[in-house]
């Protein structure tokens, strides 16, 4: 089936905004999600065709978000501070709710921005960082597992430390957990997230990703990938 309507969960976030920037040049119909009604105008100006206000920790909101959607790009995350102390992690139960909704709605492709340090990619993140965000990494591990068992066609991307700034265009993609370590710009991650649904090679796979210039140490298990970009309108 052709991809026509895309939900960007976490559209107001730093990766999400990079995704919107890339999608605005395509003929895809883009639905952006935020919890905050004050973001609606800004997301529309960034290229969203429609904006849905909702909280992924509420199953009903996740259900509404995926209605009529064929692809989900999930770039949600928990900000350190209040969000992390109150009411669960969007990285865990929120993503699980979204995957359940997507599965129920017959969504074709689900792309999830996870992280180095999760599951078998533990070694990719230095120990101090793993200790600092341990609960979030465990929540993401739960969502990764749930997604793999959901029956959805998924791609999980586990970026290294995220930076802002322009895309480098040169990413190093590893697979199998113990592969790459380092940093990558959100713009590079967004490019892979937007390409993943159009890249049959990426189906039902989990990749560790850093940029070539952000690579730390010697990479292992590098996989050559040819990412297919959506066509420009």
Binding site for ligand NAP (CB under 6 A): 10, 12-16, 33-36, 39, 55-57, 75-77, 79, 90-91, 94, 113, 115, 159, 161-162, 186
Query: How wide is the angle at C-alpha 11 spanned by C-alphas 174 and 116, nearest 5°?
Result: 25
- Cα 173 to Cα 119: distance, rounded to the nearest angstrom: 17
Q: Least Å distance between CB 18 and ligand NAP?
A: 8
Residue closer to ligand NAP (CB basis): 67 or 231: 67
CB 212 within 8 A of CB 192: no
- List of residues 6+ apart from 134 with CB closer than 8 A: none
- List of residues 6+ apart from 193 with CB closer than 8 A: 15, 19, 73, 75, 111, 113, 157
Residue closer to ligand NAP (CB basis): 86 or 226: 86
Residue closer to ligand NAP (CB basis): 15 or 211: 15
Q: Least Å distance between CB 36 and ligand NAP?
A: 5
Q: Least Å distance between CB 136 and ligand NAP?
A: 6
Residue closer to ligand NAP (CB basis): 37 or 200: 37
Q: Least Å distance between CB 61 and ligand NAP?
A: 7
Query: How wide is the angle at C-alpha 211 spanned by C-alphas 233 and 71, nearest 5°?
Result: 40
Q: Least Å distance between CB 1 and ligand NAP?
A: 26
Residue closer to ligand NAP (CB basis): 36 or 203: 36
Q: Least Å distance between CB 164 and ligand NAP?
A: 9
Residue closer to ligand NAP (CB basis): 161 or 177: 161
Q: Least Å distance between CB 186 and ligand NAP?
A: 5
Q: How many CA atoms lie within 13 A of 105 on its CB side?
A: 24
- Cα 36 to Cα 27: distance, rounded to the nearest angstrom: 26
Residue closer to ligand NAP (CB basis): 12 or 179: 12
DSSP 149-197: TSS-EEEEEEE-EEE-SS--S-EEEEESSSS--BEEEHHHHHHHHHHGG
Q: In the bound complex, which residue of the shown chain has the CB atom lying closest to ligand NAP?
A: 13
CB 31 within 8 A of CB 8: yes
Q: How many CB atoms lie within 10 A of CB 151?
A: 10
Hunting for tokens 């709605």 — which residue is that? 105
């Amino acid at each position: 089936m052709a991809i026509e309507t895309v939900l960007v969960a976490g559209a107001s976030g730093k990766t999400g905004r990079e995704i919107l920037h890339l999608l605005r040049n395509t003929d895809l119909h883009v639905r952006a999600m935020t919890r905050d009604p004050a973001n609606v105008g800004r997301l529309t100006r960034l290229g969203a065709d429609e904006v849905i206000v909702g909280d992924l920790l509420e199953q009903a909101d996740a259900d509404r978000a995926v209605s009529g959607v064929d692809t989900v790009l999930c770039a949600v995350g928990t900000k350190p501070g209040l969000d992390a102390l109150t009411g669960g992690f969007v990285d865990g139960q929120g993503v699980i709710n979204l995957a359940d909704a997507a599965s129920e709605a017959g969504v074709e492709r689900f792309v999830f921005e996870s992280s180095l340090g999760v599951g078998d990619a533990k070694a990719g993140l230095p120990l101090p960082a793993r200790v600092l965000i341990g609960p979030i990494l465990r929540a993401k591990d739960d969502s990764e597992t749930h997604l793999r068992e959901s029956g959805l066609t998924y791609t999980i991307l586990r970026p290294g430390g995220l930076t802002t700034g322009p895309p480098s265009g040169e990413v190093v993609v590893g697979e199998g957990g113990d592969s790459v370590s380092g940093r990558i710009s959100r713009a590079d991650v967004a490019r892979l997230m937007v390409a993943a649904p159009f890249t049959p090679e990426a189906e039902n796979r989990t990749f560790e990703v850093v940029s070539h210039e952000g690579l730390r140490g010697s990479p292992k298990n590098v996989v050559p990938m040819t990412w297919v970009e959506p066509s420009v309108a």
